[in-house]
């Protein structure tokens, strides 16, 4: 029996990943998130195990359990889940991203920016290089959404490099 539930960002992550990947286990979802949107959206891995069950109970996904072995659960998006995801994708938003930066938090409370900046420059440079490698070697084959998101990540890392380089001096 399905019922309406409040869908959260995690709900939409599960629905979106299932639409992209097809039938998946929670572990498959965890790997997919880590290799893609985990670069800009953090969530607890446990949510990728509990949320599919919640969505299945409400009819947004189906659940199939293996008969033998580890009896893993496999989830697949339903028509109801596709409709909900499509409606959410059409909604615009003016929400700003949440910024949780440990280095900025330390500076706020009085840490010297220079030493922090040196490490932040190195970290942001490494992430920028990682994103640019992904774009160089796979960007042409990427669907528009992931490619545009990757380009946003590159722009973000360039801006953080500019910011932290200024504080490094």
Taking only the tens place, the pLDDT of each residue in 107-138 is 999 999 999 999 999 999 999 999 999 999 88
> Residue 140 to residues 8, 131, 134, 135, 144: CA-CA distances in angstroms?
31, 14, 10, 8, 9
Tokens of 88: 């959410």
pLDDT tens-digit readout, 41-77? 988 989 999 999 999 999 999 999 988 888 899 999 9
Does pTM top 0.75 for this prediction?
yes
> Quick one: pLDDT at residue 3?
64
Q: Residue 65 pairs with which residues in a beta bridge?
A: 73
Q: How far apart are CA 151 and CA 72, in angstroms?
A: 36
């Amino acid at each position: 029996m399905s019922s309406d539930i409040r869908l959260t960002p995690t709900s939409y992550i599960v629905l979106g990943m299932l639409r992209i990947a097809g039938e998946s286990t929670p572990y498959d979802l965890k790997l997919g998130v880590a290799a893609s949107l985990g670069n800009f959206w953090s969530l607890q891995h446990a949510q990728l195990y509990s949320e599919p069950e919640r969505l299945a109970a409400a009819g947004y996904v189906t659940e199939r359990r293996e008969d033998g072995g580890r009896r893993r659960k496999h989830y697949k998006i339903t028509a109801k889940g596709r409709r909900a995801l499509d409606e959410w994708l059409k909604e615009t938003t003016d929400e700003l991203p949440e910024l949780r930066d440990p280095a900025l938090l330390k500076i706020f409370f009085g840490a010297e920016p220079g030493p922090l900046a040196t490490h932040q420059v190195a970290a942001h440079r490494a992430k920028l290089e990682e994103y640019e490698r992904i774009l160089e070697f796979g960007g042409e084959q990427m669907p528009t959404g992931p490619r545009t998101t990757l380009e946003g990540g590159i722009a973000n890392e360039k801006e953080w490099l500019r910011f932290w380089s200024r504080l490094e001096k």
